[in-house]
Structure formats: structure tokens, C-alpha cells
Amino acid sequence: MRSLLLALALVCGIQATVVPRTVEDLDIRQVAGTWHSMAMAASDISLLDTETAPLRVYIQELRPTPQDNLEIVLARWPPVPTLGENHACVKRTIMAQKTEDPAVFTVDYQGERKISMLDTDYTHYMFFCVEAPLPTTQSGVMCQYLGTGILWNPVPGNEQIRPEQSPLAGKQQDF
């Protein structure tokens, strides 16, 4: 009986999708500006792997409103065919509504979703997660790492090789 209960607890624990703790006392005004999607990950690859994946979006700009909501400018490439759009990059603006937690917003984008700001230094990087609406066949979490600078700006405290420092610098490469 104990083994059965332990197995059940493990299965339930594996199935649970939990978004990590959010930024305490997020100052929404400081996240305003241009951001670039640098990396994405999802608890279920189907949220990102196809052209019509529901959470395959690229953040371009965040605009706080006077009511402390968050206007999000994003791009989809290629867009969802059911929206009747051609296969060109399409910009969309969605409004994320504030909640009691200053780092959590709700948005109605292909179903109601929760957006959680996990970490930011306000000037170089931001991590956030979007939960897929429940109940759906595509439930789970998609997280993104956003940066404000060009691709070669490192996160503070990390070292990285810049393109001009690479052993391949100045050499023509054929791909």
C-alpha cells in the first residue's frame, strides 16, 4: 500500500507544472522598452515546435500603462493559418492585465493565460513564463529569456567570446 501511495505521489508530482517564484516588488515602469527574445523553452515541446505552435511568439516591446497593466508587442513567424494571414511576420499587441501580485499578469491570447515575471535586472535581461490555458490538450509552461542589447551583450557577471575575438574572425565561412 505504501508503495502504491508513493508511486501515485511521484506521478502526480511529475505531472504538476509549477512556475518558479516571481520577482518580488517588480517595478513595471522599469521594464518598458525594446526587448529581444533570446531563448525559449517549454515543458511540452508541442508548445513551440511547429509553425502553428500556440506559444511560439517573439517579444519585441513592453509598454506599461498608467493603470499598471502591460502592453506587449510581439511577433509570430509564421502566423497561425487559422487567422487567415499569409506567411509573413505579423506583429500583434496584446494587453496583459495586472493581478494582486505585481509580477503576475493575465492575458487573453488564444485562451486566458498567466504571465509570470521570474527575474530581471531591468537593463540587460528578463526571464518570464507563460502558462498554457487549462484544460487544453496543450497545457504546460513556456519560458523566455529576453535581452535588451544585441546578441553579443553578455549577462552581467558572465564571460563570453565576442565575434571579433573568435579564431574565425575575418575568415569567410560558407554554409
Cβ-proximal residues to 135 (8 Å cutoff; 6+ apart), any chain: none
3-state class of 54 per DSSP? coil
DSSP string, 66-101: TTS-EEEEEEESSPPGGGT--SS-EEEEEEEEE-SS
pLDDT of the residue at 23: 76
Q: How far apart are CA 28 and CA 22, in angstroms?
A: 13
Low-confidence stretches of the chain (pLDDT < 70) are: 1-21, 51-52, 54, 77-88, 133-139, 150-175
What's the CATH class of domain 19-145? mainly beta
How high is the pLDDT of residue 153?
46
Confidence at residue 3, expressed as pLDDT on a 0 to 100 scale:
47
d(CA 13, CA 18): 10
In the chain, domain spans: 19-145
Percent of the chain topping pLDDT 70: 61
Q: Quote the pLDDT of residue 32.
A: 94
